[in-house]
Structure 1
Amino acid sequence: MPTAIAVTSPDLVLPAADPHTPPPAVLSSPDIQPLDDALAHAHRLLDLHGHLVVLHPRSLAPAHERRLHTVRSLLESDRIALVASPLPPLGLAVLARQLCQLSVCDFSPGVLASSARLLAHYVHAGAVLNSVTRLDHVPVGLKTHAKSWLPGSQFAVVAHPEPQLVRVGAGELEGPDYACRLVVAGAAAPAEWVTVHLAAAWRVGAVLEAPLPGYSPSWWGTSKLTEFAAYLSDLSVLYQLVASVRRESCRWCGMELIGDRCGFCASPVPAPEHRLPAGGTYS
């Protein structure tokens, strides 16, 4: 069975990319799901899938994050990976779906968990905002703050992979230099600037619409926004991207990994000059 992927809110679940992609499970917040139900749910996922990778926002409410750690601790399971991501809400939903796509491939649970950090670099996540006065996740200059008070002002922002901020009509956002798709979500109708201008500038293959995640307004600092994320959608490209990275074994828990940190125990991979030579001892 494929490794189970989970998210922390149902509005982080996008429609499946294809009939073969399983949906992520949802590990709800403590005010929605009692602890006994959360334990039973996680236990069932482990019984069915062997391992569980939980993708959650780095800005997750402390009580919810404590719940995740409590579930892992009470189940005494080293088969649960808790992966925090800095991506904005819609970008995080995209990343969750990509992990679900890869979960049906031949990657080990450790590689799948640690691939989240790699794949996040290829998600260009941003929004069109009517105000940036409460935007905390992207640097905002004093002049831009002042312009935010002008009636009718709109700002185009990219929060990931590199912060960018321009006033709509007075600048352009740098986008991906590879074939991608664009998913758009808005509290009202998606902004035409995103679906027409940005989509053409970034040469996206298709524009898809999705519901706005519930915590997007708090993440972006305003309820008047259109959120967007450009991403790799082709499973063969995602597979080659992950498969091309050197695999190692975690020196702490033994799980297979890619990159510089284990997805399950978060142990860093030592720098090459600090690694033991073959045989396990220094001469």
Structure 2
Amino acid sequence: MPTAIAVTGPDLVLPSPDRHTPSAAVLQSAVQSPRTYSLDQALTEMHTLIEHHGYVIVLCPASARPALVQRMYAIRSVLESDRIAILRPDLPPLGLAVLALQLRQLSICDFSPGVLASAARLLSHYIYAGALLGSVAKLDRVPVTLQSHAKSWMPGTQFAVLATPRPELIKVTGEATLPGPGFGTKMLYAAGQLASGWVTETLAPAWRAQEVAEARLPADSGRWWATGKLVEFAAAIPDISVLYQLVSSVRRDDCHWCGLELIGDRCGFCAAPLPAPPERAAPTPTTAPAPAPAPASASAPAVRALPRGRT
């Protein structure tokens, strides 16, 4: 069975593009209240996923409420399992759903669980996620100028905001558009209380999106963007062969703590950073005296220090 990709809400599960891509596991421990879904039930749910899939990658939004984050870490702590990765990408809700879909596509490839988990950070840099907003007065996820705040109070004013990979904000006027990707993408959009015409008729052609499709608006989008007057959008690489090539082209290392493979500078499962390469040793002078014999106590095996955060 492929590594399980788990999400914290059903609206983060996009339809599978083909019959081979597995669905995501929606964690009921994240959806339901602790009063109605006990810790024992949550532990059973996660243990079942581990038994069926071997490893579980949980996508928990960086914007998730503290109680949800604490529960996810409590489950992993009680199970004492090193087969659960809790990833917290800083993406808007629709962008997070797109990332979950990409990981689901790659889960059926020959990538190890460690590579798949650490690939989430890489793939996030290739997701262009933003929204068309009727107001930026309360927006705090993206830098907003005082002038934009003032303009947002004018009736009919709309703003286009790009959250990732580089924050950008413009007032929607004429042919003005956001900077887009320089590679082929599929654009998804989800309409709230605004018409989607600007996104589909202006932004998508400017970004040369290969395909445009409508999706369900995630429940958390209004809170993330601080307004219900929005059309959220996300453009990303849809082709699994391109995604595979992107991930497989990155150098792989072994985590010095848990032993899993990883790409990048941090393990997705234990969060241990990749050690810096050792500095080149200075040449020893030829006239240096021979080293003295080591005392008997030095022959004892060295104790490896625990990385920070591990006990």
TM category, shorter? over 0.9
Q: Which residue of 2 aligns with 1:126?
A: 130
Trace 1:32-71 onto structure 2 (pairs within 5 A). Answer: 33-71=37-75
Structure 1: tracts of 5 or more residues without a match: 277-283
Counterpart residue number, 2:3:
3
- Offset at 1:273? 4.2
For 1:224 and 1:143, how far apart are their aligned partners in 2?
20
Q: How many angstroms apart in 1 are the aligned matches of 2:132 and 2:40?
A: 41
C-alpha distance in 2 between matches for 1:112 and 1:33: 29
Q: Is the contact between residue 156 and residue 168 of structure 1 (CA under 8 Å) also seen in structure 2?
A: yes
State, as a whole percentage, how many aligned pairs show the same letter. Answer: 59
Shift in Å, 1:70: 1.1
The answer to whether the Cα contact below 8 Å between 1:126 and 1:157 also exists between their aligned partners in 2 is yes
Aligned AA for 2:126?
Answer: Y
Deviation at 1:119, TM superposition (A): 0.2
> 1:49 and 1:275, CA in 2 relative to 1: closer, same or farther beyond 3 A?
farther
Q: Which position in structure 1 is the counterpart of 2:14? A: 14
Q: Aligned residue for 2:24?
A: 24
Moved more, 165-174 or 43-52: 165-174
Residue 164 of structure 1: aligned partner: 168
2:266 is paired with a residue of what secondary structure? Answer: coil
Q: Secondary structure at the match of 1:228?
A: strand
Does structure 1 conserve the Cα–Cα contact (< 8 Å) formed by 2:94 and 2:217? yes
Q: Residue 148 in 1 paired to residue 149 in 2?
A: no
Q: How does the TM-score come out when normalised to structure 2?
A: 0.86
Residue deviations 1:107-144, cap 9 Å, x none? 00000000000000000000000000111111000111
In 1, the alpha carbon distance for the partners of 2:121 and 2:196 equals 29
Paired residue type of 1:156: A
Q: Does 1:98 align with 2:102?
A: yes
Deviation at 1:73? Answer: 1.1
Q: Is the 8 A contact 2:134 2:194 kept in 1?
A: no
In 1, Cα distance between equivalents of 2:278 and 2:93 = 38
Whether the 8 Å contact between 2:193 and 2:228 is mirrored in structure 1 is no
Aligned mate of 1:80, from 71, 77, 84: 84
TM-score by length of 1: 0.94
Aligned AA for 2:7?
Answer: V
2:180 to 158, 171, 175: 175
State the shift of 1:272 in Å.
2.5
* Conserved 8 A contact 2:177-2:202: no
The CA distance in 1 between the partners of 2:39 and 2:268, in whole Å, is 24
Change (3 A) 1:92 1:275: farther
Paired position in structure 1 for 2:272 = 267
Of structures 1 and 2, the one scoring higher in RCO (CA 8 A, sep 6+) is: 1
Q: Which residue of 1 aligns with 2:307?
A: none
Question: Counterparts of 1:116 and 1:275 in 2: how far apart (Å)?
Answer: 32
Output one character per residue of 1:187-220: Cα deviation in whole Å (capped at 9) or x when no partner. Answer: 2575100011101000001111111000100100
**Partner of residue 196 from structure 2, selected from 191, 194, 212:** 191
Residue in structure 2 matching 1:245, options 246, 250, 253: 250
Q: How many angstroms apart in 1 are the aligned matches of 2:280 and 2:238?
A: 36
Structure 2, unpaired ranges of 5+: 282-311
CA RMSD, 1 decimal: 1.5
